[in-house]
Chains A and B, each alone.
Chain A
Amino acid sequence: NAGVTQTPKFQVLKTGQSMTLQCAQDMNHEYMSWYRQDPGMGLRLIHYSVGAGITDQGEVPNGYNVSRSTTEDFPLRLLSAAPSQTSVYFCASSGLTDTQYFGPGTRLTVL
């Protein structure tokens, strides 16, 4: 039982490049979320999903896309990277008990 896994752990992009951050969970959780963590701002919700095929926007969705084709996977796509997207990204999942389990994070730098 690996919990929530994220790849890659580190990534450096140039402005305008696109990429996908991968997130997978093996706990059969319905709910999955993406957050970004910036100094002094805590964790801010980017997008979330309440089940396969269902996604919705969080507090800071601009510049990001998500899809949920399976229960296990919830990738986050950066369409055209900007320096303002330099951050640490966390994926989380939860089941019916409300407890959110976080992945180890992806540290992204956009030059």
Chain B
Amino acid sequence: QQQVKQSPQSLIVQKGGISIINCAYENTAFDYFPWYQQFPGKGPALLIAIRPDVSEKKEGRFTISFNKSAKQFSLHIMDSQPGDSATYFCAASKSIGNQFYFGTGTSLTVIP
């Protein structure tokens, strides 16, 4: 049973466009929601994360929007660049126990 559901599976965006990836969860005990970026042949790296006490967090071109009542959160990449082409994973965890549950990933391609 997938604890975190992620969509779309793949995404193609023009350079300068906005990339949007969505995730949904069921377990209301989750209190930490990170996004990871993974390039081919590398391990995932933390991109940005949010806790449920805020509805939005922005770091540069990357923004997480969080909807606690809908149990959904999304990653927005503004002004998408070819260098953003990678696989993105959302995740959720409970601080106690530190177990992370990952979405199935979104392959983003930004075309020049």
B9 / chain A contacts, CB cutoff of 8 Å: 40
Confirm or deny: A87 has a beta carbon within 8 angstroms of a beta carbon on chain B: no
Q: Given the interface contacts A42-B104, A90-B43, does A58 sit within 8 Å of B34 by beta carbon?
A: no
Question: Interface size of A by Cβ–Cβ distance < 8 Å?
Answer: 25
Query: Which partner residue on chain B sits nearest A105 by CB separation?
Result: B43
> What is the distance, in angstroms, from B92's C-beta to the closest C-beta of chain A?
11
Q: Check if B104 sits within 8 Å of A48, measured CB to CB.
A: no
Contact of A102 among B32, B44, B95, B103 (CB under 8 A): B44
Does B46 sit at the interface, judged by CB under 8 A? yes
Considering only CB atoms, which chain B residue lies closest to A58 in the complex? B99
Given known A48-B98, A94-B98, A98-B95, contact A104–B46 (CB-CB < 8 A): no
Task: Give the complex CA separation of A105 and B36 in angstroms.
Answer: 15
What sequence of 0s and 1s flags, for each residue 49-91 of chain A, a beta carbon within 8 Å of any chain B beta carbon?
0100000001100000000000000000000000000000010
Of B9, B34, B91, B104, most A-chain CB atoms within 10 Å? B104
Chain B positions within 8 Å of A31 at CB level: 98
Q: Which 7 A-B pairs have the closest CB atoms?
A: A102-B43, A42-B104, A43-B102, A31-B98, A42-B102, A102-B44, A98-B32
A sample of 26 inter-chain contacts (CB < 8 A) reads A33-B99, A35-B102, A40-B104, A40-B105, A41-B104, A42-B102, A42-B104, A42-B105, A43-B89, A43-B91, A44-B102, A45-B99, A48-B98, A48-B99, A90-B43, A90-B44, A94-B98, A98-B98, A99-B34, A102-B43, A102-B44, A103-B43, A104-B43, A105-B41, A105-B42, A105-B43
